[in-house]
Amino acid sequence: MSPRPASFSLLEAPAPDAGFAGKLTTMASQPLHEIGPAGPGFEAAALGFTLALAAKWAGPAGIFWAGEDAAFAEEGAPYPVGLAQYGLPLDRLIVARARKREDALWAAEQALAATGAIVICALGAQGKPLDLKASRRLLLFAERYASRCLLLTPENGPSAAWTRWRIAPAESAAQPDELGLPAFRAELTRSRGGPAGVSFIVDWDAHERSFAEREMARDLSAAPENGSADPRWARAV
């Protein structure tokens, strides 16, 4: 048999949106994403996923991390040594803490005016739910200045975000006597103009600033749509 023409193999290439890597490529050009814990106790994982995205996308304009006090106090203060090891550029990181939610949102809006910036807007669990208008404003600012906003909130209300992710930690893939790479079970619960309800298990390689999707995750993502196919989820506290 003669070898296939090159053009033929191109047709067989996966759709750009297939897999986590493809999803990530699409996301990189979208202005607003929302990330939250898949359940109580998973706040650190949701933050980890957010920070990984920020580290991956950070350009010369750097990262602004604006949050309300409630979002900082509960889970401990950001720790520069750990952040650097996580892949964040310390020389291009600014953290702004606000007493009130409206100030945190305002700070995020201001920071979005830096073209190319990655702005993390971290909200706590307390307070009244975020209204659609607030996330629309973030979207508007991000679009206008070609910056990107990662909205970190445990809430599930209406949102103008392009994607919404629910994050739980995933078991380490390393040997029992060592902690592996940071690992997440990431469920895409909403996606503008694309399929939602997909789950991925990904490892974050801070050194390479890249995600690696685990093969087994493909099977798990085929699990029933109402979620908690994995018994570990049900026990989450």
Partner 1 sequence: MQLKGVDLRAHKLGLNLAMSLADARAMQPKLEAIEEEPEEDAQALDNIAAWCERFTPIVVLDPPEGLFLDITGCAHLFGGEEKLRMEIVTRLHAQGFGARAAIAPTPGCAWAFARYRRQLQGEVTDAFAVLPVEALRLDADAAVLLRRLGLKTIGQILNAPRSSFTARAGEQAMLRLDQALGRAQEALMPRRPAPPVFVLRRFLEPIFTGEAVLHVTQDLCGDLIEKLDIRGAGVLRAELVLFGVDGRDRVIGVNASKPLREVKPLMRLFREKLNIVGENLNAQFGFEAARLDVVRLAEFDQRTQTLVSVDAGSASAETISGIVDVLSSRLGAKRVVRPQLNDAHAPERAAGWRSALASKGQDQLIKPPADGVQRRPVRLFSPGQQIEVMAGVPDGPPIRFRWRRVMREVVRAEGPERISGDWQKYEKTRDYYRVEDKQGRRYWLYREGLYGESETPRWFVHGLFA
Residues that bind partner 1 (CB under 8 A): 41-42, 44-45, 47-49, 51-52, 60-62, 64, 66, 75-86, 90-91, 93-99, 103, 106-107, 110-111, 113-117, 168-172, 174-179, 182-183, 185, 232, 235-237
Residue number with CB closer to partner 1 (6 or 81)? 81
**Which value, in Å, is the radius of gyration of the alpha carbons in the chain?**
18
Report the nearest approach of partner 1 to the CB of residue 1 (Å).
48
Report the nearest approach of partner 1 to the CB of residue 20 (Å).
17
**Spatial CB neighbours of 125, under 8 Å, sequence gap ≥ 6:** 70, 74, 154, 155
Instruction: Determine whether 24 is exposed, middle or buried from the number of CB atoms within 10 Å of its CB (0-12, 13-18, 19+).
Output: middle
Report the nearest approach of partner 1 to the CB of residue 208 (Å).
15
User: What is the Cβ-side half-sphere exposure of residue 14, based on CA atoms within 13 angstroms?
Assistant: 8
**Torsion on CA atoms 167, 171, 174, 178, rounded to nearest 10:** 100
Report the nearest approach of partner 1 to the CB of residue 119 (Å).
10
Report the nearest approach of partner 1 to the CB of residue 186 (Å).
12
Residue number with CB closer to partner 1 (24 or 114)? 114
Residue number with CB closer to partner 1 (16 or 60)? 60
Report the nearest approach of partner 1 to the CB of residue 95 (Å).
5
User: What is the Cβ-side half-sphere exposure of residue 227, based on CA atoms within 13 angstroms?
Assistant: 14
Residue number with CB closer to partner 1 (35 or 191)? 35
Residue number with CB closer to partner 1 (12 or 177)? 177
**Spatial CB neighbours of 97, under 8 Å, sequence gap ≥ 6:** 67, 68, 69, 72
Phi, psi of 74 (to 5 degrees): -60, -45
Residue number with CB closer to partner 1 (134 or 191)? 134
List, as one string, the DSSP characters of 80-119. Answer: HHHHHHTT--GGGEEEEEESSHHHHHHHHHHHHTSTT-EE
